[in-house]
Structure 1
Amino acid sequence: MTDNTITPDDARARLKDLVEDIDFTMLTTQDAAGNLVSRPMSTREMDENGDIWFFLSDESRQADEAQAESEVGLSYADHKGMRFVSVAGTAALVHDRAKMEQLYSPSLDIWFEDGLDTPDIALLRVRPTTSEFWEPKHGKIVMAAAMLKALVTKETPDDTMRNEKVVG
């Protein structure tokens, strides 16, 4: 259900907060046989334009798949906080050294032995076309109490989750 008190700008800002706070996503691409393939990726940033950035090797399967079929999906889940995000967008490989310097952190040295000098390092930019998120409207404790009440009374729980759709 949509909470009518949230503006589109507030929804975009909340989407950014969720994407950057949850961090890990499952990036879904399409392989050469047309199968959907997902793998975990760590979000580096959702910028002021709404683009979501990741580091990867431009020699990786996900890079090849994103170049062959740019339509991708991102799925974020924080099951403990009951917060979820789904993003449909278009992906592009980017080799912008300044952007890499802005987003790189030493924790990435695990995957990129030579840091920013790793020969095949690249960025993957996902430009969302449609995003959607779900989270407790009134906090996790209130939601849990409503669910418990619904179990006891055998009634459908109140509208406890906020669900917002963000286009673009």
Structure 2
Amino acid sequence: MSDHKETFWDRLEDINAGMLGLNATARFLPMSHYADDDTNTLWFITAKGTDLVKALQSGPQDGTYIVSSEKKGLYARIAGRLSLSDDKEQLDELWNTVASSWFEDGPQDPDVQLVRMDLTDAEVWATEGSLSFLYEIAKSKVTGSKPDMGDHFSLTF
């Protein structure tokens, strides 16, 4: 795995949520993701009655997932193909206390829907966090140089 991909996956695993939406609409919703770097996939647990699930019932669609974490030093626009999944084993593997807060009957709850995002590409900004940002701004004022705001790169999956 390239250094950039490793940075991306390592930091993404430490972030709990982002904003997910279909490219065909301008509506993005907060969602918790579950990352699988072996398959370049993100998983989401949601309810069957959501607009996202209703839209995906007609078939897979292109989507975007946005994450932003100053603490983890990752800002990314992640693109991929969203689809509904009925993979019970995957759902059982992902199930946790956060998901159980939304669905009273656990993974067997009839309203639970698993959404899969097969990643295609991402634009990523990896920074060293807020202290580094302040240092770089101060240094630029003293030296007259541009601040080093970290790495900016694109990934293809």
**TM surpasses 0.5:** yes
Amino acid at match of 1:42: S
Rounded Cα–Cα distance in structure 2 between residues aligned with 1:13 and 1:81:
14
Structure-2 separation of matches of 1:12 and 1:67:
31
Give the TM-score normalised by structure 1.
0.81
Q: Which of the residues 20, 23, 29 maps onto 1:27?
A: 20
Where does residue 4 of structure 1 map in the other structure? none
Amino acid at match of 2:29: R
Shift of 1:19: 1.8
In structure 2, the residue corresponding to 1:160 is in which secondary structure? coil
* 1:38-91 alpha-carbon deviations (Å, 9 max, x no partner): 010001223411100110112211112344561110000013444211101110
TM-superposition CA deviations, 1:80-116 (whole Å, max 9, x none): 4442111011101101111111110132122111111
Q: How does the TM-score come out when normalised to structure 2?
A: 0.86
State how far apart, in whole Å, the 2-side matches of 1:19 and 1:66 are: 25
Provide the residue aligned with 2:33 in structure 1.
43
Residue identity (%): 24
Alignment correspondent of 2:87: 96
2:30 counterpart letter in structure 1: P
Query: Which residues of structure 1 form unaligned runs of 5+?
Result: 1-7
Residues 55, 122 of structure 1: 8 Å contact kept:
yes
Give unpaired runs (5+ residues) of structure 2.
none
CA distance in 1 between partners of 2:105 and 2:84 (Å) = 20
Matched residue pairs, number?
A: 156
Q: Identify which range, 82-91 or 138-147, moves more after superposition.
A: 138-147
Cα distance in 1 between the residues matched to 2:125 and 2:95: 29
Distance 1:146 1:90, change over 3 A: same
Residue 152 of structure 2: aligned partner: 163
Superposition RMSD on alpha carbons, in Å?
2.2
- Determine if contact 1:20/1:45 at 8 Å carries over to the other structure: yes
Please state whether the residue corresponding to 1:36 is helix, strand or coil. Answer: coil
1:156: how far off? 5.1
Q: Which of residues 56, 61, 65 in structure 1 aligns to 2:51?
A: 61
1:127 to 100, 118, 124: 118
> Given the superposition, is the C-alpha separation of residues 116 and 163 from structure 1 closer, same or farther in structure 2, using an over 3 Å criterion?
same
2:96 pairs, out of 105, 108, 127, with: 105
- Give the CA deviation at 1:152: 5.2
